[in-house]
Amino acid sequence: MTSPTKTNNIKAMFAVIETGGKQYVVESGVKLKIEKLPVDVGGVVSFDKVLLISDGESVTVGKPYIAGMVVEADVLQQGRARKIQMMRYHSKTRRRRRKGHRQPFTEVAIKTIKK
């Protein structure tokens, strides 16, 4: 009887970057929406705040960032998210306040993770 083989759930190469006050797990070819960046569509943006990197066998953690590591991405789109509506209601005074907000974002496609 053969024993079942273990599957390794570690991705081949991924990194954790910080941008816009948030952290994202990225790998090559991944598209993600991040906080708005002042870059034109079709441009290239590089993230130098890399917190963690894994190549499938070893993991490197920064203190707080890894020196010399850069994640490059192409800018696909600049846009605004769906509208979020808020409603404030005061009982017994007939007061209602309605408000909406659309958060701007930048959609990027991760190209490379390199030193």
Q: Tell me the residue type at 36.
A: K
Please tell me the distance from the alpha carbon of residue 23 to that of residue 16, in angstroms, as a whole number.
7
Residue 88 resides in a domain: yes
Question: What pLDDT does residue 8 have?
Answer: 56
Residue 45 resides in a domain: yes
CB 112, CB 50: distance < 8 Å: no
Number of domains, the chain: 1
Residue 90 resides in a domain: yes
Domain containing 43 equals 14-114
**Around Cβ 110, how many Cβ atoms within 10 Å?**
21
Residue 80 resides in a domain: yes
Residue 84 resides in a domain: yes
Residue 1 resides in a domain: no
pLDDT per residue as tens digits for the range 4-50? 444 556 557 899 999 999 999 999 999 999 999 999 999 999 999 99
